[in-house]
Amino acid sequence: MKKFVPDNTSIVIYNPRGLAKVRTSIQVTDKILYERAEYYFNKGFVSLNSSVLINISENFSQAILNDLQYISRNIFTCKVKKSPDDYFEAIKYFSKAISICESYTIAYNYRGIAKYILKDYKEAIEDFSKAIDIDPNYSQGYYYRGITKYDLKEYQGAIDDYTKAVEINPNFAYVYNNRGVAEYNLSEYQKAIEDYTKAIEIEPQYTYAYNNRGIAKYILKDFLGAIEDFNRAIQIEPNYSNAYNNRGDAKKAINDLVGAENDYSRYDNLIKSNVG
């Protein structure tokens, strides 16, 4: 069946609850100047989100703490529509905000997200790095830069950024998951299991982490442990197609051929119906 591929949590965009609360991300003394920069940032944020599809069920049941500030529960999965115009528009507005206030950390970060979605990875990394230069404790900058490095197959670089992100914010559940995926790609399976477990401790309903931990256990021939994790992922998300396929492989490994065939059939049906 389908080759084992851990699920990496991709770029997610948080909807700040009251953009005025991000004022601490920049230092300006001129109130009028700040308000002009914030105006363009807000327009960029709206442009970015207008081109993003809401898909909470595939991701997390709860957003996490972002630099000790609670962020909206709305999580947006970034999927480019037919036209990238909204992303270019968002970049234009974020750039305008930055031209007014060069230390606008969050504007660099969101401009980097837009560039990432457009697969302009080099410039995205430059923006995330700039946000980090301005605020070395900006965990989101390390997280997004880590995701970008992962997509460039720079797995150790991604691990380094994820590690920095969780040093700053230890409750960053999906950074642990993503670090585990990067470690998996370097064949560091036990380290990956430890990170998936940490992600689950923080977010007990984290389906990706259960599935990914099950994959790592399967590779280490802990087939029963793998099945337990795939069971949990399916219990949380009954239409999680990858978990059925993976559980089928684990059942096949213990010679439960009937159970394996049932799981493969469920996987095929979900893929055909485009549900899971």
Q: Which of 157, 178, 199 is the last residue of a domain?
A: 178
Tell me: do 9 and 84 sit in the same domain.
yes
Q: What is the pLDDT of residue 83?
A: 66
Tell me: do 167 and 267 sit in the same domain.
no
Q: Which of 153, 178, 203 is the last residue of a domain?
A: 178
Tell me: do 8 and 98 sit in the same domain.
yes
Q: What is the pLDDT of residue 57?
A: 27
* Nearest one of 32, 25, 172, 158 to 94, comparing CA atoms: 25
- Tell me which residue has tokens 């770029």: 11
Q: What is the pLDDT of residue 252?
A: 97
Tell me the CATH number at 272.
1.25.40.10
- Count structural domains, the chain: 2
Tell me: do 106 and 225 sit in the same domain.
no
Tell me: do 166 and 202 sit in the same domain.
no
Per-position b or e across 200-221, b if 16+ CB within 10 A of its CB: bebbeebbbbbbbbbbbbbeee
Tell me: do 108 and 206 sit in the same domain.
no
Tell me: do 81 and 169 sit in the same domain.
yes
Tell me: do 210 and 167 sit in the same domain.
no
End-to-end distance of the chain based on CA atoms, in angstroms?
A: 16
Tell me: do 30 and 114 sit in the same domain.
yes
Tell me: do 107 and 192 sit in the same domain.
no
Tell me: do 113 and 87 sit in the same domain.
yes
* CA dist 90 → 24, 44, 45, 86 (Å): 22, 4, 7, 6
The residues of the chain scoring below 50 in pLDDT are: 13-26, 28, 52-82
Q: What is the pLDDT of residue 124?
A: 97
Domain containing 165 equals: 1-178
* Nearest one of 73, 61, 141, 81 to 108, comparing CA atoms: 141
Tell me: do 32 and 144 sit in the same domain.
yes
Radius of gyration of the chain (CA): 20
Q: Which of 122, 150, 178 is the last residue of a domain?
A: 178
